[in-house]
Amino acid sequence: MNTQESERGRLHLFIARVVVYAVLIFLSFLCLFCFYMLIINSTRSNAELQAGFSALPRGHFVENLKNAWNDASINIPRGMMNSFFIAACSAVLKTYFSALTAYGIHVYDFKLKKAAFLFIMAVMMIPPQVSAVGFIQLMYKLKLTNNYLPLILPGIAAPVVFFYMKQYMESVLPLEIVESARIDGAGEFRIFNQIVLPVLKPAIAVQMIFSFVESWNNYFIPALLLDKAEMKTVPIMIAQLRSADYSKFDMGKVYMFILLAILPVLVVYLFLSKFIIKGVTAGSVKG
């Protein structure tokens, strides 16, 4: 009986693994297929795209690249620089100050500690669309339209990033390390910047990737605040291309611009992913 039960357990485990791997392979295929079709469509002309689906590349990649890059209605290099500046600043500030807030809640013991944590969690439940109208009105009153500050500074208050950092901090940061540094005479900011942040590298890398992508793809708020051509971001320019006059509409150029818009995100991911891998490897070695 014990042998039969163990064999059944192994069979169930094997079936569960097969199902899990099948689902993962299917999801990976969907993601890669969408990206593959984006590359394929960027090599096709507008007439070929209008004709229907094709899984094979065509020879209009360079032509679409020239048409998109030299489009008179938009400035792709400037738009990508604008988006990169906003996304990079937003990701750095959001991640740093969220980690700093999580450090304060995790390390310090004060009367309103639980209340502060619950308040931040309550703010996390509020959809950003609810406060968008009031925020836009406030920016117009402060005359901060066509300015990047409203797109960067509000990101510092990021309850979701704070919650992730706090949970990660509770699992990897013993309070004894902080107490030892205090006994040695280190200040709080020095402890945070030189001791805590290196420990949080994997979490910081993950949240910087998410924050960068979120800011890079943000269309709603920038579209309401930016109307100068030289200050517009990539999502706004893509929307302009898609809403062009039908006689001038070129789907090949749109797909090429989307492909160009994805490349910086991939570069950021490849650059930061090594810190995630190093952090996980270091943790497994220490364990």
| Structural domain spans, the chain | 2-61, 64-286
The span from the CA of 38 to the CA of 261, in Å, is: 12
pLDDT digits (tens, 9 = 90+) for 32-83: 888 888 889 888 888 888 888 788 888 888 888 888 888 777 888 888 999 9
Q: What's the pLDDT at 286?
A: 44
Tell me how far apart the alpha carbons of residues 147 and 75 are, in angstroms, rounded to a whole number.
18
pLDDT given at position 285: 38
Q: What is the pLDDT of residues 105-151, one digit of tens each?
A: 888 888 888 888 888 888 888 887 778 888 889 999 988 888 999 99
Q: What is the pLDDT of residue 283?
A: 42
* CA proximity to 230, closest of 75, 73, 72: 75
Q: What is the pLDDT of residues 223-274, one digit of tens each?
A: 889 888 889 998 888 888 766 655 567 788 888 888 888 888 888 888 887 7
How confident is the model over 17-22, as a mean pLDDT? 91
For domain 64-286, the question of CATH label 1.10.150.120 is answered with no
Angstrom CA distances, 119 to 114, 115, 134, 169, stand at 9, 6, 20, 19
Which band of pLDDT confidence, cut at 50, 70 and 90, is reported for residue 96?
very high
Question: Percentage of residues in the chain with pLDDT exceeding 90?
Answer: 14
Q: Which two tokens stand for residue 261?
A: 């818009």
Residue 210 — left, alpha, or beta (φ > 0 → left; ψ -120 to 50 → alpha)? alpha
Distance, CA of 157 to chain centre: 16
